[in-house]
Amino acid sequence: MSTPSQAQLFANASIGAIDVANRVAMAPLTRSRADMDGVHSELAVEYYRQRASAGLIISEATNISREGRGYAFTPGIYTAEQVAAWRRVTDAVHAAGGKIVCQLWHVGRMSHVSLQANGVAPVAPSAIQANEQVFLESEGFDRPSMPRALETAEIGRLIADYRHAAECAKDAGFDGVEVHAANCYLLEQFIRDSTNQRSDEYGGPVQNRSRFPIEVITAVAEVWGAERVGVRLSPITRAVGDTPLDSDPEGTYFYLAEQLGKLGLAYLHCVEGQTRGDNGAGDFDFKKLHAAFGGKYIANNSYDRQMAIDAVDNGHADMVAFGRPFISNPDLVERLRRSAPLAEADRNTFYGGGAGGYIDYPALG
């Protein structure tokens, strides 16, 4: 067993073209602290700066367009004002010695008419209403609205939105981007046959259901270079309302991972199990998924210190991403290194609000 001084978890590395000081990644964490135009405040500058000792920060999920928004007070990366706000964040992270990528997000059917321009219906691969919960500006949590199915001719517009957001992320000074194809949002809605009932070239067999995500990722890689683009997947994650899985998760995601591997991407970031309740990681062969991808792999979901050390030392993962522990432990890497106690986060301040529960958690000492 490795001692902290020997553990590869705390050694520097390269993830694609991104050099990292350690193998601890900060997972994307929705905190709902932006304004309703998707523009971050100065609080976000301090929040990310405090956590810059992570080897790689993956930003909170960031809307690629107004249409892509599904929760109130989440940031965007498609207007000049949003870019300027994110530039202050990335400058602060870099000044503190950190690296940060922007997670590009379109929620698809996980939205509500009150969040859409002119109150129109959200879009999805198929007109199937989600039975989850989304966070609204004044009503709190509510069920997403009934979506409309995207027309085949609209796919190009969506790819252009992703490309534009990728260009904006470059202007904002990020070190790369992560395409969010997980957690039952738009790209995963196309991937799973439970939420994709299309009959055109974007529905049916896995080759067709994977087409749109691959086209999006390819377009983003043309902006950044593949070696600065990561992808997040969650093969067996169900959303709050028990979103159905694909009928053949391993067949579907092994195929997708193999196709993504051919693009030469920086990394594959996987939620290894459920995001709530029992981890469930044993229900899917993530080692085989990693092998199918063939490149760098970031593991995520319920890892503790020793599990993370072992995962990197035995080659299961190249990095391990921690989510909620970073909320209340801005110096999480140092705490893990020292095997120091972790502070508990106040769940009441996870979403919305101001500085409380956001930038006021102290570091060791």
List residues with catalytic annotation. Answer: 185
**CA gyration radius, the chain:** 19
Is the CB of residue 322 less than 8 Å from the CB of residue 25?
yes
Query: Which phi and psi (to 5°) does residue 260 adopt?
Result: -65, -35
Dist. CA 344–CA 292, nearest whole Å: 37
Secondary structure class of 166 (helix, strand, coil): helix
Quick one: tokens of 333?
Answer: 């890497």
Quick one: tokens of 158?
Answer: 């969506």
For residue 283, give the DSSP letter: G
Place of tokens 């899917």: 284
The three-point CA angle 255-58-221 to 5° equals: 50
Dist. CA 268–CA 317, nearest whole Å: 10
Place of tokens 């207007």: 79
Strands 229-233 and 123-124: unpaired
Dist. CA 65–CA 76, nearest whole Å: 7
